[in-house]
């Protein structure tokens, strides 16, 4: 079959799919009714009827716009017209149908018009509508593909329908599930209780002493939460960058056998919930911790809450984020070419001079990256401040209490989210600007068999003096977090027990077989199932976007890339608030469902798939794609037969990483969980809030073991980069 005829058949199939979804699927989404349960009523009740029945029988004539758009598209694919005419018909039909359905979905809510000015202009509607469901999703998907085909037929995307459709659909998904929720939450910051928008409302909420107060600088009170957040982020980023760099230099240039233990340390923040370190530190320095118990026994000092506050949060974030800085700096240190250092020493530079003028200069992009990543991670952190914050408030916890506290104030939460988003985006843009400057390339396709320069003795002594005790302390903290689930009551009764594991994961036998009687089983199964659903979607969509960025050229590519990586800069707490505000009303009523949690997982972790795919595509020569296309293979065939087999490591890495991050995330989903869809991290947070540290730590232990097994499997499958260099002699 000729490619043109095959594409024509594909477009006809998409029009037919849209017509079937319009006629045979429930148009609206009902949380308590599944698709199978709603199917028998597709020709009857107003709640479960298809769009065709809704428009003809239930007083919703605005839905005819979707059918009209599909009919116009059908004229373009079933009548003999030129490619240009077909493009205009497809464009007109897809735009008319898609914009008509979307505009009516945003303008008409459950009780009628969503905006008062529409009510005054057109009068009251006799009926409203619910959020869009499966039928609407199918119709809009078809119209999106047809719009991409129209752009290709009119000369865009070099006439490639597949590429055009992928760009249109990915842009629509990013706009709907990233840009729209964030913008919705930012707009809500200026809306008062009566629903009126005014800039004064935003200023009243943000320009307060609670947010920007500087009393701590004058010794007369506390600083505002904005300054607290920035100060904590600065000291955390500085500390993690320094410690991560020392660990990386020691591991790669110190002639030590600590490379493998440090690799294990680097994986800990990925496989553990973000507040595990905080719990371990509580067991050490809390009121019932060993340190305070020792002070009381030795000196009679009564245990206090001195550890809770900025110092406790900073220390917990140092332990949690230093391994991330180590991973960044380790890759940069590995990439420093020995030949450059040998050239400096050939010119009679000492090892210290070479290190300070050559090695450190080549580490600048890694240092900037590690600092800015640490800054963003600290601002976005929710688990450690909620556990160790005490009276020291930061923006992420203030947003949480504005939603779930006694004074329910979504507008205040949105205003604080605006401030936090502004901080994070500013740092994100600075990061991109810093790293897009000078070239620091040291790894090329040429051989490089130079010997790595050992660290100068003063630098090695600093690494051992600072990084050595820190590494031991880190192991102690994680050991305490692991051991806390095996004792009856920490600080009072250290008797070994399995009771906490039994409480959480008890399994019994009954008349009907095995019974999962533990209180944590439901949250674990829910987390596993939702993460398993989100991981392949996140990995597939991320690699598709990476392919579009690496192998195609189109207008708006820079904005497309920025929106794909936006959720890396948007803190998880902000994204959770955004989803609550955006998806609680039509056209998408998803709050309280498992679907909204899956979507949050997907788009929160999407930059992982994009970056993994981008890194993989940089290693693939574009000539392989071009050779396939020269042999008259279509874009889909090239992607399936040539590109995907070469992307298996990136695909597996994105799958596992997105799965693990979904299992351990807390800030993005803390507002989205319900009694039916409780997650592992929210269960642990609830136990900590009730003071039941034993069960919380037992659950953390199970998660750590489970995630360790998964990450070990991915490391075995993917392997490590080999640069073909000689390694220095191990000295200890």
Quick: pLDDT tens for 31-65. 777 777 787 888 878 888 999 999 999 999 999 99
Q: Say if residue 373's pLDDT is above 60.
A: yes
Q: Which residues contact 457 (CB under 8 A, 6 or more apart)?
A: none
pLDDT reported for residue 729 = 46
Q: Say if residue 439's pLDDT is above 60.
A: no
Q: Say if residue 530's pLDDT is above 70.
A: yes
Look at 664 and 429; give whichever has higher pLDDT: 664
Q: Say if residue 436's pLDDT is above 90.
A: no
State the sign of the Cα–Cα–Cα–Cα dihedral 247, 251, 253, 255: positive
The mean pLDDT of 204-211, rounded to a whole number, is: 87
Chain centroid to CA 608: how far? Answer: 8
Helical packing angle, 693-718 and 648-664, nearest 10°: 180
Q: Which of 84-88, 325-329, 677-681 has the lowest mean pLDDT?
A: 325-329
Q: Which of 397-401, 476-480, 528-532, 595-599 has the lowest mean pLDDT?
A: 476-480
pLDDT band at 383 (very low <50, low <70, confident <90, very high): confident
CATH of 516-718, one of 3.40.50.261, 1.10.3720.10, 3.40.50.1370, 3.40.50.11540: 1.10.3720.10
Q: Which of 232-241, 301-310, 607-616, 670-679 has the lowest mean pLDDT?
A: 607-616
Contacts 24+ apart (CB under 8 A), 111-114: 114/585, 114/586
pLDDT band at 1 (very low <50, low <70, confident <90, very high): low
The mean pLDDT of 490-494, rounded to a whole number, is: 79
pLDDT reported for residue 615 = 64
User: Which pLDDT tens digit goes with each residue over 387-425?
Assistant: 898 889 999 999 888 887 666 788 888 889 889 888 888
- For the chain, percent helix, then strand, then coil, each to nearest 5? 70, 5, 25
By the 10 Å C-beta count (0-12 exposed, 13-18 middle, 19+ buried), 284 is classed as: middle
pLDDT reported for residue 524 = 93
pLDDT reported for residue 654 = 76
pLDDT band at 571 (very low <50, low <70, confident <90, very high): confident
Find the helix or strand (DSSP H, E) in which 513 lies. strand 513-516
C-alpha span between 358 and 344 (Å, rounded): 8
pLDDT reported for residue 443 = 43
Find the helix or strand (DSSP H, E) in which 475 lies. helix 468-483
Class of domain 227-395+421-488: mainly alpha
Q: Say if residue 107's pLDDT is above 80.
A: yes
Contact by Cβ (8 Å): 85, 76: yes
The mean pLDDT of 673-696, rounded to a whole number, is: 88
Q: Which of 373-377, 491-495, 522-526 has the lowest mean pLDDT?
A: 491-495
Q: Say if residue 501's pLDDT is above 90.
A: yes
The mean pLDDT of 544-573, rounded to a whole number, is: 83
Q: Say if residue 723's pLDDT is above 70.
A: no
Q: Say if residue 455's pLDDT is above 50.
A: yes
Q: Say if residue 446's pLDDT is above 50.
A: no
**Pairing state between β 108-109 and 487-489:** unpaired
pLDDT reported for residue 68 = 96
Q: Concatenate the DSSP letters of all residues of 9-27 into one string.
A: HHHHHHHHHHHHHHHHS-S
Q: Concatenate the DSSP letters of all residues of 355-398 into one string.
A: IIIIIHHHTHHHHHHHHHHHHHHHHH--HHHHHH-TT---HHHH
Q: Where in the chain is the domain with CATH 1.10.3720.10?
A: 227-395+421-488, 516-718
Most confident of 292-296, 501-505, 606-610: 501-505
Q: Say if residue 437's pLDDT is above 60.
A: no
pLDDT band at 472 (very low <50, low <70, confident <90, very high): confident
State the sign of the Cα–Cα–Cα–Cα dihedral 487, 493, 496, 500: negative
pLDDT band at 705 (very low <50, low <70, confident <90, very high): confident
pLDDT reported for residue 407 = 66
User: Which pLDDT tens digit goes with each residue over 226-280?
Assistant: 999 999 999 999 999 999 999 888 888 877 676 677 767 766 766 777 778 888 8
Q: Classify residue 466 by its DSSP letter.
A: I
Contact by Cβ (8 Å): 321, 374: yes
**CA geometry: angle 642, 723, 468, nearest 5 deg:** 125
Q: Say if residue 299's pLDDT is above 90.
A: no
Look at 153 and 573; give whichever has higher pLDDT: 153
Contact by Cβ (8 Å): 285, 488: no
The mean pLDDT of 6-14, rounded to a whole number, is: 92
C-alpha span between 572 and 241 (Å, rounded): 22
pLDDT reported for residue 146 = 96
By the 10 Å C-beta count (0-12 exposed, 13-18 middle, 19+ buried), 521 is classed as: middle
C-alpha span between 309 and 328 (Å, rounded): 28
The pLDDT > 70 percentage for the chain reads: 89
Look at 701 and 261; give whichever has higher pLDDT: 701
C-alpha span between 594 and 672 (Å, rounded): 9
pLDDT reported for residue 561 = 83
């Amino acid at each position: 079959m000729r490619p043109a005829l095959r594409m024509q058949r594909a477009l006809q199939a998409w029009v037919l799919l849209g017509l079937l979804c319009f006629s045979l699927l429930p148009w609206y989404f009902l949380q308590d009714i599944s698709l199978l349960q709603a199917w028998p009523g597709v020709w009857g009740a107003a709640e479960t009827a298809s769009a065709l029945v809704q428009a003809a029988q239930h007083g919703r004539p605005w839905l005819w716009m979707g059918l009209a758009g599909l009919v116009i598209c059908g004229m373009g694919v079933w009548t003999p017209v030129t490619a240009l005419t077909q493009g205009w018909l497809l464009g007109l039909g897809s735009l008319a149908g898609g914009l008509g359905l979307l505009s009516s979905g945003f303008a008409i809510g459950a009780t009628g018009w969503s905006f008062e000015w529409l009510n005054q202009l057109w009068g009251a509607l006799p009926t409203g509508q619910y959020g869009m469901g499966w039928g609407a999703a199918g119709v809009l998907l078809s119209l999106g593909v047809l719009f991409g085909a129209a752009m290709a037929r009119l000369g865009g995307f070099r006439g490639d329908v597949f590429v055009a459709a992928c760009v249109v659909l990915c842009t629509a998904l990013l706009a709907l599930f990233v840009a729209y929720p964030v913008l919705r939450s930012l707009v809500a910051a200026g809306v008062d209780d009566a629903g009126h928008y005014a800039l004064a409302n935003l200023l009243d909420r943000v320009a307060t002493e609670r947010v920007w107060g500087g009393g701590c600088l004058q010794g007369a009170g506390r600083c505002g939460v904005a300054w607290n957040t920035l100060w904590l982020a600065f000291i955390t980023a500085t500390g993690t960058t320094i410690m991560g760099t020392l660990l990386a230099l020691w591991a790669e240039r110190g002639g030590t056998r600590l490379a493998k233990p440090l690799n294990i340390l680097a994986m800990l923040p990925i496989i553990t919930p973000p507040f595990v370190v905080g719990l371990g530190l509580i067991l050490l320095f809390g009121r019932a911790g060993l340190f305070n118990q020792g002070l009381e026994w030795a000196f009679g000092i009564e245990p206090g809450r001195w550890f809770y506050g900025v110092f406790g949060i900073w220390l917990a974030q140092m332990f949690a984020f230093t391994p991330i800085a180590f991973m960044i700096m380790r890759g940069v240190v590995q990439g420093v070419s020995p030949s450059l250092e040998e050239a400096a020493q050939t010119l009679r530079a000492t090892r210290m001079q070479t290190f300070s003028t050559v090695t450190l200069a080549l580490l600048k992009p890694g240092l900037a990256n590690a600092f800015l990543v640490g800054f963003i991670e600290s601002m976005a952190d929710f688990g450690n401040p909620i556990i160790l914050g005490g009276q020291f408030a930061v923006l992420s916890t203030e947003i949480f209490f504005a939603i779930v506290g006694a004074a329910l104030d979504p507008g205040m939460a949105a205003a604080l989210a605006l401030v936090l988003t502004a901080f994070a985006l500013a740092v994100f843009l600075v990061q991109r600007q810093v790293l897009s400057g000078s070239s620091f390339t040291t790894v090329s396709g040429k051989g490089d068999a130079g010997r790595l320069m050992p660290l100068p003795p003063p630098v090695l002594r600093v690494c051992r003096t600072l990084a050595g005790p820190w590494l031991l302390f880190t192991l102690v903290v994680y050991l305490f977090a692991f051991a806390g689930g095996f004792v009856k009551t920490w600080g009072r009764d250290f008797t070994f027990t399995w009771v906490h594991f039994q409480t959480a994961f008890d399994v019994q036998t009954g008349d009907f077989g095995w019974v999962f009687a533990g209180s944590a089983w439901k949250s674990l199964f829910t987390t596993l199932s939702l993460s398993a659903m989100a991981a392949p979607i996140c990995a597939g969509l991320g690699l598709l976007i990476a392919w579009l960025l690496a192998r195609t050229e189109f207008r708006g590519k820079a904005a497309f890339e920025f929106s794909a990586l936006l959720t890396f800069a948007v803190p998880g707490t902000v994204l959770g608030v955004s989803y609550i505000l955006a998806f609680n009303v039509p056209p998408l009523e998803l709050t309280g469902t498992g679907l909204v949690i899956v979507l949050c997982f997907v788009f929160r972790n999407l930059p992982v798939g994009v970056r993994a795919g981008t890194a993989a595509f940089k290693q693939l020569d574009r000539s392989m794609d071009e050779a396939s296309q020269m042999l008259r293979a279509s874009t889909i065939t090239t992607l399936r037969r040539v590109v995907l087999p070469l992307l298996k490591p990136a695909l597996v890495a994105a799958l596992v990483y997105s799965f693990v991050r979904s299992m351990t995330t807390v800030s993005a989903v803390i507002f989205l969980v319900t009694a039916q869809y409780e997650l592992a991290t929210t269960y642990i947070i609830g136990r900590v809030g009730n003071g039941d540290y034993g069960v919380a730590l037992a659950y953390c232990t199970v998660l750590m073991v489970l995630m360790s097994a998964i990450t070990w499997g991915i490391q075995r499958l993917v392997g490590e980069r080999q640069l073909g260099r000689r390694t220095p002699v191990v000295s200890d």
